[in-house]
Amino acid sequence: MIKYIIRRILQSIPTVFGVTLLSFLLIHMVPGSPVRILLGNHYTPLRAAELSKTLGLNKPLWEQYLIWLGNIVRGNFGFSYTYDKSVVSLMFQALPHTIVIVVVAVMLAHVFAVFLGSVQAYFENTKFDQIATVINYFFYSMPTFWLAVLLVIFFSIDLPWLPSGGIVNTQLSNPGFGDWISHLILPVGALFLVSVAGWARYMRSSMREALLQDYVRTARMKGAHEFRVIFVHALRNSILPLITLFGLSLPSLLSGALFVEEVFNYPGMGLLYWDAVNSRDYPIIMGITVFIGLVTVLGNLIADILYSLVDPRIQY
């Protein structure tokens, strides 16, 4: 077991390096030099040559990569072109906002998807199951950004219940906890709805298989209540694939967060990235790409290790 965990960690190290190399190369595909962007109107060939030297841009590419990598390892992601702040401080400002909506949405979506999928599998091919399947399909195919726009129309324009964007009501002198929560509901709701649909479909088929197993029949024969049969005996095994699925769905969750943050003007990592792309702020683009790659690799690693811990049938 320990051996497997160590091997799995070692396996992900080349991927991490690959991610850094990829984002470094992507930035260097960009035509035009960063010196020109940095100097702007103050551009003269002499100043450009000086700045290239201080930034180390006249060194060979592989040396630049190593220097950059060394900086990243020490937590230095460089300096933003547009904000006059370090990339790390900008990311630390944005990160908590993204974590809040993604984590809350994922937890709610998991609980609800497990419940819905299980109940659907139990009442397989009844009217309830068919209607739920159609609704799932609808949300599964729904573009995240359109869903987010619709939520704004329904719940902040037609029914003026919730704010349409931002994180606080700037007109309040002392916006409290309730205000913060009310700004979270729609972004979380959008991410929740698009995640539930896929997971519930998966859970339904997983539970359907579990309900056909012998141990479920045994549980019924010894007189266990149906509720106990589904949510204790069958659930334990059918929930396992969802752990892997969570690791695999991290990239799509982060893309979803990007769209949601853009629609709700919610100052998280996605919005920061989108702004950076629009203003060609390459240090931020590089920093976020590397960071998101790390998160994804780490998420998959944790999901795999968790899976091996909770499923005693797997031998390594």
Partner 1 sequence: MIQQSLPIEEVPVDSSHIDERPNFMRRFWQSGMTKLGIVLLLMLVLFSFVGPLLYRHSAITSNLLATDASPSAQFPLGTDSVGHNVLAQLMVGGQSSLEVGFAAAIVAMLFGTLYGMISGMAGGWLDVVMMRIVDILLSIPSIFILLFLNVVFQPNIIIMILVLASTAWLGVSRLVRAEVMTTKNQLFVEAAHALGVRVIRVMVRYLLPNIIGTVLVAATFQVADAILAMAGLSFLGLGLPPPTPNWGGMLSDGMNYMFQNSWWLIYPPGLCILVAQVSINLIGDGLRNAIETRER
Residues that bind partner 1 (CB under 8 A): 14-15, 18-19, 22-23, 26, 29-31, 137-138, 140-146, 149-150, 152-153, 157, 251-252, 254-255, 258-259, 262-263, 273-274, 277-278, 280, 285, 288-289, 292-293, 296-297, 300
For the bound state, the minimum distance from the C-beta of residue 296 to partner 1, rounded and expressed in Å, comes to 4
Nearest to 109 by CA among 167, 182, 189: 189
Give the phi and the psi of residue 75 in degrees, each rounded to 5.
Answer: 80, 15
- 197 near 210, Cβ under 8 Å? no
Q: Please name which of 274, 301, 280 lies closest in space to residue 98, comparing C-alpha atoms.
A: 274
Task: Identify the three-state secondary structure at position 61.
Answer: helix
Residue 38 C-beta: closest distance to partner 1, Å: 18
Helix (H, G, I), strand (E, B) or coil at 174: coil
- Shorter beta-carbon distance to partner 1: residue 115 or 140: 140
Instruction: Label residue 282 exposed, middle or buried (CB < 10 Å: 0-12, 13-18, 19+).
Output: buried
Nearer to partner 1, 220 or 280 (CB): 280
Q: CB 197 → partner 1: shortest distance, Å?
A: 11
Minimum Å gap between C-beta 196 and partner 1 is: 16
Nearer to partner 1, 146 or 161 (CB): 146
Closer to partner 1 at the Cβ: 164 or 182?
Answer: 164
Nearer to partner 1, 224 or 305 (CB): 305
Shortest distance, position 65 Cβ to partner 1, whole Å: 15
Cβ-Cβ contacts under 8 Å for 7 (sequence gap 6 or more)? none
CA–CA gap between residue 223 and residue 56 (Å, rounded) = 74
Tokens of 214: 């012998």
Q: Which CB atom, from 242 or from 299, has the smaller least distance to partner 1?
A: 299
Closer residue to partner 1 (CB): 238 or 300 = 300
DSSP state of 86: B
Q: What's the chain's length in residues?
A: 316
Nearest alpha carbon to residue 71 among 18, 12, 20: 20
Q: Give least dist CB 106 to partner 1, A.
A: 15
- Amino acid residing at 249: S
Tokens of 241: 């694939």
Q: Which residues contact 65 (CB under 8 A, 6 or more apart)?
A: 21, 24
CB atoms within 10 A of CB 6: 10
CB of 185 to partner 1, least distance (A): 18
Pick 89 or 255: Cβ nearer partner 1: 255
User: What is the closest distance, in whole angstroms, from the C-beta atom of residue 158 to partner 1 in the complex?
Assistant: 9
